[in-house]
Structure 1
């Protein structure tokens, strides 16, 4: 089978690999679409993984073979899946912190999403894999996993009817989070970004306000929009730790900051710590998704509750993964979500 294999920075090779062998509880998939995630780009450019390795995890695929014990799926089914599975019985799982489970990160699909064929281990088949609803395209189906990640983070924000939400960063995760916030009942949704293209796209998606902090004073604009009270929730969807102090300053009393994007290790920032006691604010971290968000995300896509077609700006054949990463990472390009597909 063909796969795009990451060996190192600027070294991704489209080459032949053996088709994975499945066991009795596994299924074999033929990849149809796989989203290019910001973490894939970060790993490739900053060499945070050691090659050779097949990246990719936002998978929409066709079932081509099932193990003897598999009863929920059969060849020909269209499915979506995700990459990590918790144990559901440890200290963290018992408290609902599934993504902190020691089993979570070591679990993987084989060899990765950027491959022609993918083996889903039994745990993934049991807990993370769902049929794609009729009428949903392969491209939109590949958005289920990132939607699930955003749902996981927004649940920590406790968004209620009438909330105001600021999303800092208008990439794929930022614009998904903004749309989902409105879906959850937020009455005012604001995004900020330095990209005119992404801000214009946000407005076309129905976001209330789009602010470029290089051209406007973000704190002043938030003050105008919220009558000087600040926002109830800030979602940081850009990996810039300097955004955290600003996010805290933009909060209303009792507000919450959700840190979605990874910050660099040991990157220290100064914040107004007095606000935690004085104003009962909260800062919450979030990572990945649990199996409980996957079916919710499938339903959101099935019911067209958010706009996805406008967010998918480019599709590339799998053989051109390196080119896709270079294009998507260039801030001068008008690009949001890139979907990889098998070469015809």
Structure 2
């Protein structure tokens, strides 16, 4: 089968691999659509050498080739896959499956066939498209972030990073009653597309040296009630801490495998700012996002602003690194030649 393999830091290659075979346990999935996640660009950019040989891709939708040990599935069902825990450890029993690492995250969406553990496969309703289903996973992280932030009616919200998770946060923040939702984004061409989507009220240039001052002026007061850092960049974390009111919250959503330097901890300490980390989501949040898509409360398809083939993936990563892509979400049409 055709795959895109991580061969090292800054090295992706289109090649072939042995197609997984039914083993009576794993769910075997013919991949249809796969999203390119920001975490995967970090893997490629920061730690690719340690992940040599990995077929990335964990945001996908496909068709069941073999249901393995999942008795609720049959051949031909459309499914997506969620990150999940073992279900047995103390963390899982306490409802924190998202931070259990006893069950490995099986990727493989950058290939024609992937496998997942039985309980991770989630059937996709008929009223949710395959493109939407490939975006349930990141948008579920958005919902988890908003739930942890406990946004109140009238809150002013700042989001840093205009990827799909940031825009998902914007959508849910509005649903929860936020009065103003603004976005900080470094790519102004991308920002124009985002503003037209209607999820945010205003956009600020992350590269503007006066960005922090302009953001605080926008609030007409001491700052925002909550900020969501959704890019994983050190300067973005610093901005988030500086633009919130004292005694409020900064939600650290953006992921990076490398340590982030330049965080103004003294500023956070003096303002008693709560730094709250966010990782993944619960099964309930995953299902709620899929339900919201099916009911039309979230229009996820508008975020898929670029569709590519497997052959184009290595160049897409280069373009993302060099900011030559102005797209919110890049989706791989795996079956397309």
Query: What do you get for the CA RMSD once the two structures are aligned?
Result: 2.3
- How far residue 243 of structure 1 moved from its aligned partner, in angstroms, is 3.0
Unaligned runs of 5+ in 1: none
Task: Tell me if 1:116 matches 2:112.
Answer: yes
2:92 aligned residue: 93
1:247 aligned residue: 240
2:169 aligned residue: 177
Q: TM-score, normalised by structure 1?
A: 0.88
2:266 aligned residue: 272
Q: 2: CA distance between counterparts of 1:79 and 1:226?
A: 43
**Does the CA contact (< 8 Å) of 2:241 and 2:264 recur in 1?**
no
- How far residue 166 of structure 1 moved from its aligned partner, in angstroms, is 0.2
Task: Tell me if 1:34 matches 2:6.
Answer: no
Q: 2: CA distance between counterparts of 1:311 and 1:216?
A: 28
CA distance 1:307–1:198, change in 2 (3 Å): farther
1:338 aligned residue: 330
**Does the CA contact (< 8 Å) of 1:222 and 1:228 recur in 2?**
no
Structure (1 or 2) with the greater helix fraction: 2
Q: 1: CA distance between counterparts of 2:110 and 2:264?
A: 40
CA distance 1:307–1:330, change in 2 (3 Å): farther
Structure 1 residues 299-338: aligned runs within 5 Å: 299-338=291-330
Deviations 1:108-141 (A, max 9, x none): 32x611111112222xxx2x32222224322222
Deviations 1:214-249 (A, max 9, x none): 447333333333221311110001222233333223
Task: Tell me if 1:79 matches 2:79.
Answer: yes
Q: 2: CA distance between counterparts of 1:304 and 1:35?
A: 20
- How far residue 99 of structure 1 moved from its aligned partner, in angstroms, is 2.9
CA distance 1:242–1:282, change in 2 (3 Å): same
- How far residue 319 of structure 1 moved from its aligned partner, in angstroms, is 2.5
- How far residue 10 of structure 1 moved from its aligned partner, in angstroms, is 5.0
Deviations 1:78-135 (A, max 9, x none): 11112x321234333344433332415xx132x611111112222xxx2x32222224
Q: Secondary structure at the match of 2:4?
A: strand
**Does the CA contact (< 8 Å) of 1:24 and 1:70 recur in 2?**
no
Q: 2: CA distance between counterparts of 1:151 and 1:196?
A: 25
Deviations 1:270-319 (A, max 9, x none): 3335x65x755311011223323210121122122233233212111113
Unaligned runs of 5+ in 2: none
